[in-house]
């Protein structure tokens, strides 16, 4: 009798987690446009869950800055100003330069080969003008490197920044006319191969700031 509520609680927790993770990925990879509204009824219907897990997932994403809750109660993906984009780019530079630096001593050849393969996917997505694919492979490149830093709190902070940027980055990439892949990833890989910490820090900082400037200018 003591454990009679465990199964429903576990089911609710599992439903909430499934909704949260799916919506989080969609937002981070720009699959949802900036300013797009989400309703609890719509989320519940899509995921075939009750209002409670839908509400909890949305509330969690609002707390992370992935969704915006207006005074009227409307929930939507954020529409970022140029100033906000600059702020988030500066945060990326601070966090990701440090993560890369910490990853460098653990950057074995298998990691470098993996990054090279991911970067080929980045280039392919750019050539195909696949904005969502570009964002997804770009973040996979960075996450794969930063996991070697063994700094989970710092990586979680970086992912929160990526989450806030996702929809706006998708909209900006959609307007970009170039099909040339960014070259900073190659500089990052070259610095890792050479064990060049100053070069690595510069390449990462350039990647997360210069790339954004190209988009918003």
- Domains (ranges, CATH) in the chain? 6-76 (1.10.10.10), 82-216 (1.20.120.530)
Across 151-186, b (16+ Cβ under 10 Å) vs e yields beebbeebbbbbbbbbbbbbbbbeeeeeeebbebbe
pLDDT at 1 over 50: no
Contacting residues for 186 by C-beta, under 8 A, at least 6 apart: 119
Q: What's the pLDDT tens digit per position in 101-138?
A: 999 999 999 999 999 999 999 999 988 888 899 999 99
Cβ 191 vs Cβ 175: under 8 Å: no
Model's pTM, two decimal places?
Answer: 0.88
Maximum C-alpha span of the chain: 64
């Amino acid at each position: 009798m003591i454990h009679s509520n465990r199964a429903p609680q576990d089911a609710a927790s599992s439903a909430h987690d499934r909704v949260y993770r799916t919506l989080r990925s969609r937002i981070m990879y720009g699959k949802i446009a900036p300013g797009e509204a989400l309703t609890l009824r719509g989320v519940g219907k899509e995921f075939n869950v009750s209002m409670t897990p839908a509400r909890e997932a949305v509330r969690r994403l609002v707390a992370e800055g992935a969704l915006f809750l207006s005074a009227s109660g409307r929930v939507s993906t954020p529409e970022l100003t140029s100033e906000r984009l600059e702020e988030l780019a500066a945060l990326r530079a601070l966090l990701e330069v440090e993560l890369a630096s910490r990853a460098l001593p653990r950057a074995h050849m298998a990691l470098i080969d993996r990054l090279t393969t991911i970067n080929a996917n980045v280039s392919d997505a750019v050539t195909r003008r696949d904005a969502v694919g570009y964002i997804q492979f770009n973040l996979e490149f960075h996450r794969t490197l930063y996991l070697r830093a063994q700094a989970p709190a710092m990586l979680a902070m970086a992912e929160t920044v990526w989450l806030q940027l996702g929809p706006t980055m998708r909209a900006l990439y959609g307007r970009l006319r170039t099909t040339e892949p960014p070259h900073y990833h190659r500089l990052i890989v070259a610095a890792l191969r050479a064990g060049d910490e100053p070069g690595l820090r510069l390449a990462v900082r350039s990647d997360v700031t210069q790339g954004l400037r190209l988009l918003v200018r």
